[in-house]
């Protein structure tokens, strides 16, 4: 008998009004249906015929971590243990809330027994790994507190750095924010032959931003503002530590960088102007290193960097920074942030909206700040040189694709509280014709801003029956104006504030909160006039989105810009790496990205979504079905 209680059943119960009260008297026909629908969703128990090379126990639970001086912080945390196989399959990051690094080799067969000891449902997704659909951590495979799910898959990826994190629908952002994430290092022979810096000279750097209250507890906001723009902290942590300092020797290092933030985009650069040497991206090594003045890193993306500290004096320091750039957030918001910058803090508790905005204000996305310090503590003479040739792989060409003239569209449409792909919010079992992809094909995919144009109407916004009242989202004009008038020094804000709250007010009127907490566009919005209005809103709301496609990594074919965003684009463009294999790509305002993605080996459903996790939870997520 199955011990799982997938959320599809719960969702069904919510829809049918059975609720939790109905659980005890669960009709048997529903059980039978459940058995049927969960068939092929992967083993919840181990399959004895799967001969694992590595077996791990992975647990998610509430715990405490020492992040700031003083009181420990309550977190959610993964811990892992090697049951059989190489001991270095699990590498602890001492004292961190981050999950340990998992380390596998290409070709290894892995069994991971995941136990959910959280007070809520969860499921683990292996971001970047090419695994069967039922092993991918689909939201509908979520397990309840106390339940166990066994994953069994073979490592098909080449060497690279990937991520494990939760993927329960509408809970991903919160669970990641509270600490559930870790790195997965895949090793292979091609990489090992290069003799890249290893051991203590290979440093993982997981970059995240967080916000704490005066008791050192995490603060997470879910106001309309936070959800529309993405939640940003006011403090950057690396590997779960605040004010990180790395003691290094005078030699070359390999930095394995991952953006584990919910929404924050970084523009990485060295404080002394040393160029950034990029060895690899999401899907592993490039053919040869690329040297850039700076490099962009959006949520879900990874970078493999080379940094040589040779010639630096004992005790000297180098800072890894994020430089100023534009385009991450809607223009209107960026303008307001500029207006507010320089103003004293002084907004008390309470203003939910205001709090969120001040979060952006205290460490604005796109401003300049330090991420980590590297301190030279040892002078040594041995060193290695950066290889000029790193890897060889097949470059996909447009003529290799099954659909060179009909790209699969991923149209991003942006509106307050409503971030959609192809005009539709995420829904289970809502695969559109263009989302059905034949197995073992290479497909051309085109990501663009739809702005309510024809791309958006291609998949019309779903019309949900507005049976519940139109519950408005909190955090609109009132909190804002109170905040503004409470402090005479904030005078200059009133203009911007009015603008912003006006916008927010507009949008609350344009949507309603469905009973399941999902923001749904009001029906009628997708008809003529409504669309035009949405289109205008889309332009105003245009922001950057890291778009992530599950399954195999893709190659970027082209990036192009249209509209009047060229000025902002100038501030990021040299930091966008288009070579190599990617699974997450940062779509800037006004941009169109064409990519070629293989859909090989496994049939079934694979998600694609914005990796701004608040956007993902808002429903900026869809799925492909590989047939
Ligand atoms: Cu890293 Cu579907 O996510
Ligand atoms: Cu993923
Ligand atoms: Cu997004």
How is 516-528 classified by DSSP, letter by letter? Answer: TS-EEEPTTTTSH
* Integer Cα distance of 61 and 145 in angstroms: 9
Ligand minimally distant from the alpha carbon of residue 260: 1
State residue 8's pLDDT score: 38
Distance 548 CA to ligand 1 centre (A): 7
Shortest-distance ligand to the CA of residue 544 = 3
pLDDT at 334: 83
Q: Would you say the CB of residue 158 lies under 6 angstroms from ligand 1?
A: no
Q: Residue for token digits 């040779």?
A: 310
CA torsion, points 67, 70, 71, 74, in degrees to nearest 10?
0
Mapped onto helix, strand or coil, the DSSP state of residue 20 is helix
The rounded distance, in Å, linking the Cα atoms of 601 and 411 is 26
Specify the residue with its C-alpha closest to ligand 1, atom 3.
127
How many A from CA of 184 to the centre of ligand 2?
12
Q: What is the DSSP letter of 214?
A: T
- The pLDDT tens digits of the residues spanning 443-457 come to 999 999 986 443 333
The whole-angstrom separation of Cα 36 and Cα 28 is 12
Residue the block writes with tokens 């420990």: 72
pLDDT tens digits, residue range 474-505?
A: 333 332 323 233 333 333 233 333 333 334 33
Burial (0-12, 13-18, 19+ Cβ within 10 Å), 281: buried
Ligand nearest to the CA of 609: 1
**163 alpha carbon to ligand 2 midpoint, in Å?**
8
Q: What angle do CA 454, 458, 459 make, to 5 degrees?
A: 135
Q: What spacing in Å lies between the alpha carbon of 394 and ligand 3's midpoint?
A: 30
What are the tens digits of pLDDT across the range 494-542? Answer: 333 333 333 433 333 333 333 343 433 333 333 333 333 444 555 578 9
The answer, yes or no, to whether any atom of ligand 1 lies below 6 A from the CB of 125, is yes
Per-residue pLDDT at 499: 35
Measured in Å, residue 130 CA sits from the centre of ligand 1 at 12
Dihedral sign for Cα atoms in the order 365, 366, 367, 371:
positive
Atom of ligand 1 nearest to the CA of 609: 2
Cα separation, 238 vs 182, whole angstroms: 12
Q: What is the DSSP letter of 293?
A: S
Is 130 close to ligand 1, i.e. is its CB under 6 Å away?
A: no
Q: Pairing between strand 295-297 and 302-308?
A: unpaired
Minimum-distance ligand 1 atom for the alpha carbon of 607: 2
Confidence (pLDDT) at 564: 77
Q: Is 162 in the pocket of ligand 1 (CB under 6 A)?
A: no
Strands (E), 213-360: 235-238, 241-242, 245-249, 252-259, 266-270, 276-281, 284-292, 295-297, 302-308, 317-322
Q: Select from 599, 596, 552 the least CA-distant residue to 440.
A: 599
Q: Is 276:251 a contact under the CB 8 Å cutoff?
A: no
Torsion over CA: 255, 256, 261, 267 (sign)? positive
Atom of ligand 1 nearest to the CA of 167: 2
Distance in Å, CA 616 to ligand 1 centroid: 9
pTM for this entry: 0.82
**Average pLDDT per 10 consecutive residues for the chain, totaling 627 residues:** 35 34 33 36 77 98 97 98 98 96 98 97 98 96 96 98 97 98 98 97 98 97 92 97 97 98 98 98 98 98 98 97 96 79 44 44 92 97 94 98 98 92 93 98 96 42 31 30 30 32 36 37 32 48 95 98 88 98 97 98 98 97 98
């Amino acid at each position: 008998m199955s011990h799982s209680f997938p959320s599809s059943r719960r969702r069904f119960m919510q829809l049918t009004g059975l609720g939790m009260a109905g659980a005890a008297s669960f009709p048997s026909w529903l059980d039978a249906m459940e058995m049927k629908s969960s068939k092929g969703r992967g083993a919840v128990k181990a399959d004895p015929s799967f001969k694992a090379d590595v077996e791990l126990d992975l647990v998610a639970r509430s715990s405490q971590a020492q992040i700031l001086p003083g009181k420990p912080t309550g977190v959610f945390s993964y811990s892992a243990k090697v049951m059989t196989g190489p001991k270095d399959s699990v590498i602890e990051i001492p004292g961190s809330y981050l999950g340990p690094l998992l380390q596998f080799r290409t070709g290894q067969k892995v069994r991971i027994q995941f136990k959910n000891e959280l007070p809520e449902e969860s499921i683990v997704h292996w971001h970047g790994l090419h695994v069967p659909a039922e092993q991918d951590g689909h939201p509908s495979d979520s397990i309840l507190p106390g339940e166990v799910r066994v994953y069994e898959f073979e490592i098909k990826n080449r060497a690279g750095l990937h991520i494990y994190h939760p993927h329960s629908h509408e809970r991903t952002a919160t669970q990641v924010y509270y600490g559930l994430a870790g790195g997965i290092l895949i090793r292979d022979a091609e990489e090992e032959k290069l003799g890249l810096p290893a051991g203590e000279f290979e440093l993982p750097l997981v970059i995240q931003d967080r916000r704490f209250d005066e008791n050192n507890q995490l603060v997470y906001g879910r106001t309309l503002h936070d959800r529309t723009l993405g939640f940003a902290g006011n403090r950057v942590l690396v590997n779960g530590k605040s004010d990180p300092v790395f003691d290094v020797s005078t030699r070359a290092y390999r930095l394995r960088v991952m953006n584990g933030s919910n929404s924050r985009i970084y523009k990485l650069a060295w404080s002394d102007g040393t160029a950034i040497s990029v060895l690899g991206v999401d899907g592993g090594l490039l053919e040869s290193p690329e040297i850039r003045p700076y490099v962009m890193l959006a949520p879900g993306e990874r970078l493999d960097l080379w940094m040589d500290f040779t010639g630096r004096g004992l005790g000297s320091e180098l800072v890894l920074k994020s430089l100023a750039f534009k385009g991450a957030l809607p223009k209107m918001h960026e303008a307001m942030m500029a207006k507010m910058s320089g103003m004293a803090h002084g907004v008390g508790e309470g203003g939910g909206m205001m709090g969120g905005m001040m979060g952006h204000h205290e460490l604005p996305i796109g401003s300049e700040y330090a991420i980590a310090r590297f301190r030279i503590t040892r002078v040594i003479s041995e060193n290695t040189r950066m290889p000029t040739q790193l890897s060889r792989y097949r470059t996909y060409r447009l003529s290799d694709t099954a659909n060179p003239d009909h790209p699969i569209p991923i149209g991003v449409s942006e509106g307050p509280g409503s971030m959609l792909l192809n005009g539709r919010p995420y829904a289970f079992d809502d695969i559109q014709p263009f989302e059905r992809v034949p197995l073992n094909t290479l497909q051309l995919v085109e990501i663009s801003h739809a702005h309510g144009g024809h791309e958006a109407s291609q998949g019309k916004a779903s019309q949900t029956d507005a049976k519940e009242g139109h519950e408005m989202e909190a955090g609109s004009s009132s909190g804002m104006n109170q905040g503004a008038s409470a402090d005479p020094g904030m005078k200059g804000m009133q203009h911007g504030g009015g603008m912003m709250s006006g916008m927010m007010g507009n949008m609350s009127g344009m949507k309603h909160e469905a009973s399941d907490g999902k923001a749904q566009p009001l029906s009628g919005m997708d008809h003529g006039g409504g669309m035009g209005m949405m289109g205008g809103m889309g332009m105003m709301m245009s922001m950057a989105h890291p778009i992530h496609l599950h399954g195999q990594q893709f190659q970027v074919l082209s990036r192009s810009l249209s509209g009047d965003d060229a000025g902002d684009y100038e501030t990021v463009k040299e930091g966008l790496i288009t070579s190599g294999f990617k699974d997450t790509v940062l779509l800037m305002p006004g941009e169109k990205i064409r990519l070629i993605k293989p859909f090989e080996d496994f049939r079934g459903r694979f998600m694609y979504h914005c990796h701004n996790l608040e956007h993902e939870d808002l429903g900026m997520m869809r799925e492909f079905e590989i047939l």
